[in-house]
Structure formats: C-alpha cells, structure tokens
Amino acid sequence: MKHTTAIAFGMALVATPILADTPRPDGLAALGEPPIPASNPQSPEKVELGKMLFFDPILSGNYNMPCASCHLPEAGWAIQAPISFGYPGTTHWRNSQTVVNSAYYSKLFWAGSSGSLEHQARSAARGGVAGNGEDDMMESRLAFVPEYRERFKDVFGDDWPNIRHAYDAIAAFERTIVQTDTPFDTYMNGDDTALTEQQVRGLDLFTGKAGCSQCHSGALLTDEKYYNIGVPAYSGWEEDELAQITFRFELYAKGVTEEMYRSTKDDPGLYFRTKETADKGKFRTPSLRYTKYTYPYMHNGMLETLADVVEFYNQGGGDNEFAANKSDLIQPLGLTDDEKADLVAFLESLSGDEILIEEPDLPAMEPLPAAMGTN
C-alpha cells in the first residue's frame, strides 16, 4: 500500500499553512507543513489514539458509524458517491469531503460551520444524520475499554476518558493525513520536469484564460470564500423518499422560514448559517488537492469526473433555485477541446500517490473493575 502522509509533532504555533516556497505572482505555492494549534499539540501517542478512534464505531449512536464510515481511505478518504452515507434511517444531504489536507482549512464543512478539526469531529459524531451520538453515552462507552482508559490517562492525564479529548485525538490524527509531494508541489519547488508539457499548458490556463485561480488560490488552492456557481440541485431529491425526508429535516433543524421549508427544493448552503438571502446557494471553495480520488464533485456530487467539472465551468456554470445569487465570476470560458484536456491534466497533477493505511486493531469492552464503579 502507498502511504504518503506527513506527520507533524511538537508545539508549532502557526495559524496558517507554511509554504514550502515563495508564492508565485498568481498566489500559487507548494504546500508546507500543516498548522498545529497550541491548544492541541501533536504527539505520536495522541495520533495513534486518534487513529483508533477514527475507525472505532464506539463514537456513534448505534455503535456502527465511525468517522471512517464516511471517510474511507480507499475512496479518497471520502465517499465516491454523490451524497454521503447517513445514520441508519436517514441519508446525508451533502457530498462527503475528503479528510486529506483538511488540516489546512480554517473552516470545515461545505458552509464553514466548524472552525477547527476538533469542533468538526464533535459535530460529525453528534450530527443527527451522521454519528448521532451523545457525549455522555460515548464517554461512558470509552470507560468500558481498558486500553482506552490507559491511553487517555497516558496522553491526557484523564482518570476517566474525556469525550472532548477524544475529539482532540481524532483531530491530531487527521492532521497527519496530508499530502505535500504531488507533481505540482515538486514543480513549484523548482523541478521543471515534474509536470508534463500538457500539465504546464494546463497550469497556464488555470491561472489565465480559465480563471480558476481567482478562487482556487494559495498553497491549498482555495480562497475559502463562498460562491454560488449554479450547481444543479441533487437529483436524488426527485425520487429518493429517504433523501427527501432527510432534506426536510435539515431545513427544519436549521431554522428556515415556513415558506422555505414548504417550497425549497435545493440546498440553501451558507444561508443556513447567516439567514441572509444573498447567501442562498453559496458554498465554500473546496481545495483541488487530492481530487483525483474524491469523485464525484461539488457539494452534492452532481458532476462525475474532472472533465465534467471543466466542461461545467467552460459553459459558464449552471442554473439552480438560487440563480439570483450566482457569482459574476462564472462566465463561459470558450476553451477548445485541447485546452480542456490540458486543464484536466493539470488538475490531476494536484494529486500524488493514493494514501492508504492499515486499519488499527480495535480494543474490546470489558466490565468495569468493581473498585472503579462509575465516575
């Protein structure tokens, strides 16, 4: 198995990604080491605990929905389907985003609702259509596992496993799932042979005629801003009863107006957070790194291949329910077939070897020692 993660330990206090080299005039740069928050420093022991918890269904309501159920290493650390899996009895309502390089984001989820990997882990474990767990229940389960009691004690000093520390450990593990050795990074670091001639032409299009770098900028290839680009509504809402029910639940849970609840047939995106009409249909610009393995694309998986994505932008985006908010940046590009192929070739250079790891052996529950009782 190919494994190209970079593990960062120590007490780094950086707040933004470290660039491996000086950015170009267009803002593009190689990716350096991920930022590590001072509040959750890395250690090998913490990362190993987080790896176990990432794959352990113990952190879910039904003991069957670990982080890895929606972030499969063999599926790009995501799900290769339009919409992610949901808690039994539901489905999800958005595409699963990859864990790879999530360490660099300043905001997580498609609408930026989490400001850290620690908060994202908690939101996913507790989300009604995701893990659907309760903190006290999951914390009590952890206490029934002798190995977890020992590891939480060693890593955090906990006499009793603390669920917030579980989220810290998962975040620490996710900060090791990064890729900084793509052909693009090698090229940006000075090796002119790292990209093919076709990929170099695609890079010129990316920063020039195609205008991609207006939003897909910086070392992470995202400005982390929000745009409506006209992605059509998820097709499953027309025929999948479970998807319809889940979507209505999300509308209700996130506090839309009654009129919207009864009439909306598309994902309001950032509006869920701001309740501003101008934000309907807007989503955070995703990184283009590791996209070779994370198909299908967009917040609802409505574009199957990178070629489809390029053609979508070439046509000037699409239409959706919130077309009034469509970004002025999205205009027909007039790319030729050869130029579209060049652009796809460049996008493929943003992914290196597939990151695959062996899943850890998970410890079992045992009765609590009589002397320990309950916390």
Domain boundaries, the chain: 186-348
What pLDDT, on the 0 to 100 scale, is given for residue 24? 67
What pLDDT, on the 0 to 100 scale, is given for residue 87? 92
What pLDDT, on the 0 to 100 scale, is given for residue 244? 92
> What is the band of 373 on the pLDDT scale with cuts at 50, 70, 90?
low
Looking at domain 186-348, its CATH architecture is Orthogonal Bundle (1.10)
pLDDT at 374 over 90: no
pLDDT one-digit tens code per residue, 297-322: 999 999 999 999 999 999 999 999 99
pLDDT one-digit tens code per residue, 64-83: 999 999 999 999 999 999 99
Complete DSSP assignment for 150-200:
HHHHHHH--SS--HHHHHHHHHHHHTT-----SHHHHHHTT-TTSS-HHHH
- DSSP assignment letter at 292: G
pLDDT at 11 over 70: no
Quote the CA–CA distance of 310 and 312 in Å, as a whole number. Answer: 5
More confident position, 14 or 373: 373
What pLDDT, on the 0 to 100 scale, is given for residue 370? 72
Quote the CA–CA distance of 156 and 75 in Å, as a whole number. Answer: 32
Residue with tokens 């595409």: 95
Asked if the peptide bond before residue 35 counts as cis, ω within 30 degrees of 0, the response is no
Rg of the chain over CA atoms, in angstroms?
21
> What is the band of 18 on the pLDDT scale with cuts at 50, 70, 90?
very low
More confident position, 235 or 20: 235
Strand 283-284 with 226-227, pairing: antiparallel
> What is the band of 27 on the pLDDT scale with cuts at 50, 70, 90?
confident
b/e sequence 213-240, b meaning 16+ C-beta within 10 Å: bebbbbbbbbbbebbbbbbbbbebbeee
pLDDT one-digit tens code per residue, 104-161: 999 999 999 999 999 999 999 999 999 999 999 999 999 999 999 999 999 999 999 9
Quote the CA–CA distance of 110 and 298 in Å, as a whole number. Answer: 9
CA torsion through residues 131, 100, 339, 331, sign: positive
Asked if the peptide bond before residue 17 counts as cis, ω within 30 degrees of 0, the response is no
pLDDT one-digit tens code per residue, 241-276: 999 999 999 999 999 999 999 999 999 999 999 999
pLDDT one-digit tens code per residue, 171-225: 999 999 999 999 999 999 999 999 999 999 999 999 999 999 999 999 999 999 9
Q: Is 123 helix (H, G, I), strand (E, B) or coil?
A: helix
If we measure between CA atoms, which residue out of 344, 2, 346 comes closest to residue 183? Answer: 346
What pLDDT, on the 0 to 100 scale, is given for residue 28? 95
pLDDT one-digit tens code per residue, 90-101: 899 999 999 999
Q: Under the phi-then-psi rule, with left for phi > 0, alpha for psi from -120 to 50, and beta for the rest, what region is 28?
A: beta
CA 173 to chain centre: 14
More confident position, 14 or 169: 169
Q: Is 221 helix (H, G, I), strand (E, B) or coil?
A: coil
